[in-house]
Amino acid sequence: MRKLFAFTLVCLLVVTSTAGLRASEPQGKDIVDTAVAAGSFKTLAAALTAAGLVDTLKSKGPFTVFAPTDEAFAKLPAGTVEALLKDKAKLTAILTYHVVPGKVMAADVVKLKEAKTVQGQMIKIDTSMGVMVDNAKVVKTDIVCSNGVIHVIDSVILPK
């Protein structure tokens, strides 16, 4: 139960919790440590731990993470997070679908129509009404970390 609670809190990135992080200012921390320090990525951190991806996202990278807020995870149907915690393969596929190799800053994202994820599939990028990644709106950009960048999104994106 504690693991589930922690997972849920990490995956749900609350935009207000990232308010202390300034866009484009390099953080001395890696992606995982930056997310944990923000206090609003607890569910994501727990999910990364459950999937065995913490060491990967603490490595040199660089990585671009489209990080769903806690509110985004709350939009998922009841029981989804719990089921994912029990299915490491599916959880890993979903989490790696949120990661693009390389450091893709917001100025670069808006020039793209799609990007290949670490999971292997392409995510669609639409800039016609703000910036959308698949069905998720980018709500905060360019949280620079020592090994990449985080862009906060308002929905969990799922591989096809």
Residue 131 vs residues 3, 46, 71, 101, 120: alpha-carbon distances, Å: 33, 27, 18, 19, 21
Confidence check: pLDDT of 8 > 90? no
Count Cβ atoms within 10 A of the Cβ of residue 56 and give its class: 0-12 exposed, 13-18 middle, 19 or more buried. middle
- Mean pLDDT of the residues in the chain: 83
CATH of domain 2-153: 2.30.180.10
Are the C-beta atoms of residues 40 and 53 closer than 8 Å to each other?
Answer: no
What are the tens digits of pLDDT across the range 15-41? 323 334 444 444 589 999 988 888 777
Higher pLDDT, 14 or 78: 78
Domain ranges of the chain: 2-153
